[in-house]
Structure 1
Amino acid sequence: MDGPHVLVGFDGSPAAGRALRWAATEASLRGVPLRVCHAWTWPYPPGPRGDEAQEIVRGMGVIALEDGVRIARETAPDLDVRPLLAEGTPSAALLGAARDAELIVVGARGAGGFDRLPLGSTAVHVPAHADRPVVVVPAHEPARVEKRIVVGVDGSPASRAALGFALREAALWHASVTLVCAWWDPAVLPGPDRLPFTDPRGLKEEAKARFAAAVAPVLAAHPEVAVEQRFVLERAGRVLADNARDAMLLVVGDRGIGSSPKTALGAVTRSVLHEAPSPVAVVHDRDTQVKESS
């Protein structure tokens, strides 16, 4: 597909259904088409296969795709919805189809795999390897959802990109932003666990100053968005998931400060993908769409 659009993967699972509805609303707000992708694959080891059997498997994919298109049009009746049937794994299909996409949306867990796993392989592989923002949507919606977007910032390039994305999403959805810096340093631990010869208050104030300096230029570009800033002495993964319990979206960078450049997703990002009850947007410093819109 040429031109900007939102790309969503759909396999008929509950998480994919919620992801599809989320993506349809997002595309409608952006004023761009929605591309619904279903990936089908031959489920047996390589070997001779009759054309009739292959067409049956492909036909089941067509039915699933038609169901996804129907759900999208019911969600946003005026939306331009375009189907895409691809052969291969869901991750490969989505990454291969994402060239012009402004955003990729996937369910947290697809129809395959183990029922007790909160996160499937596609929901990890696509955000790890995409060059644009990816939103991972869980199957179950919390009982109460506020029009509020939570974003984690630690001063890294990816977190600054995440902040810009969160502010643009907030303007699009008419939502507020809760900006969270979760700062953790063993030097400020109370009692005998604290590192010796350190000034805990000075370290904390220095970290707060770095945090304020990092976010000020990005916030200045979006004065229309209401922003609450929280500087918290806590481990990032836990505090971000807690702050996002009633939020409509949690936004994080793919890797924070201290993550190895060889790591596809940092520890905090992996943690919130598994634990956050809200949709999670993963934004990369290399994201094509983030840089084009900044």
Structure 2
Amino acid sequence: MSWGSYVLVGYDGTKDAERALRWAAQEARLRHRPLTVCHAWRWPYPITYIDHEGAAIVKRMGRNLLDHGVALARGMAPGVTVRGKLMDGPAYAALTHQAESAEMIVVGSHEPGDLPVGSTAWRLPAHARRPVVVVRSAGTRHGEVVVGVDGSAGADAALSFAFEEAALRGWRVRAVYGCWEPAAAAENDLALFGDEDKLRQVCGSRLERAVAPWRVKYPAVEARTSLVLEAPREALFAAAERADLVVAGNRGAGGLDRIRLGATSGALLQHAPCTVAIVQATQE
């Protein structure tokens, strides 16, 4: 898949942002894309208190921080074209705007369970129209991408992203279908939850059909499937313990961030032990 011309990463000078910068620099190198490092500076006082000299100082500090991030990125990925983009306002809004021509957005994250609902790493996947990678660890430990499958359009987009990422990095793919989700089942599937053998047969076939085209497209990628009689989030949490990246499609809808993000993708962002990628069902 190719939706844009560059990889976009948010940088604010923290250790979390530096991990994201390293991931994004490697991503740009592997995809043969330029890298845009974005920093959003913000006047920290109410708009009614305007101090033009103070604002100029804050903006200049932001520029210096951005220049530092660009220099770091160039050292991390020699040969990659790196540019800086200084913007003002909330970071998630600046990155969402800047991402219209990007292939993906990369941001850093706090440790699992310590992600504020109003943070950039939470709000960005709810609004962005591009895949958002929330980096918790930039190093390779397991060489595996875990991807959630449920037969939806969002899951198909997640599979596409997961297989491409695995092909680029030389990793394996593990496609996980946590099929015990009666509340989200279509009406004609509800009867399956009274017959576990039938449930395994129907959902197992659905899982294999979903993965089959990507096995054909990426024959060099080792791919396994796991059908689990658990809720999707529990199945993905367990698989993520042995993964470097977990990928989920976003099934959220509505006006509130919690709803727009979707229950499973939101839970992964909060609690997954590894880097998380949230992929929208449709891309333009």
Coarse TM-score class (shorter-chain normalised) = 0.7 to 0.9
**Does residue 85 of the first structure (1) align with residue 86 of the second (2)?**
yes
Partner of residue 278 from structure 1, selected from 256, 271, 274: 274
Equivalent position of 2:150 in the other structure: 154
1: CA distance, partners of 2:6 / 2:193: 55
Long gaps (5+) in structure 2? 183-190
AA in 1 matched with 2:84:
P
Matching residue of 1:253: 249
Structure 1 contact 152–252 (Cα < 8 Å) conserved: yes
Aligned to 1:242: 238
Partner of 1:52: 53
- TM score, norm. by length of structure 2: 0.87
Cα pair distance change 1:196/1:286, threshold 3 Å: closer
Q: Which is helix-richer, 1 or 2? A: 2
**Pair 1:43 & 2:44 matched:** yes
Looking at structure 2, the residues matched to 197 and 249 of structure 1 have their Cα atoms a distance apart, in angstroms, of 30
Aligned-residue offset at 1:40: 0.4
Question: Which structure 2 residues correspond to residues 63-142 of structure 1 after superposition, within 5 A?
Answer: 63-109=64-110, 117-119=114-116, 121-138=119-136
How do residues 3-14 of structure 1 correspond to structure 2 at under 5 angstroms? 4-14=5-15
Secondary structure at the aligned position of 1:155 is classed as: coil
- Residue in 1 that maps onto 2:223: 227
Shift of 1:239: 2.2
1:208 aligned partner, one-letter code? G
- Go from structure 1 to structure 2 and tell me whether the alpha carbon gap of 1:226 and 1:197 turns closer, same or farther (over 3 Å shift): closer
> Does the C-alpha gap of structure 1 residues 44 and 96 become closer, same or farther in structure 2, counting only changes over 3 Å?
same
Percent of matched pairs sharing the same residue: 44
Q: Distance in 1 between matches of 2:240 and 2:181?
A: 23
Q: CA deviation at 1:250?
A: 0.9
Letter paired with 2:93: A
| AA in 2 matched with 1:98 | A
Deviation per CA, 1:242-281: give whole Å up to 9, x if none: 21223221110011xxx65663111110011111121111
CA distance in 1, matches of 2:195, 2:240: 32
CA shift, 1:69, in A, is: 1.0
CA RMSD, aligned part only?
A: 2.5
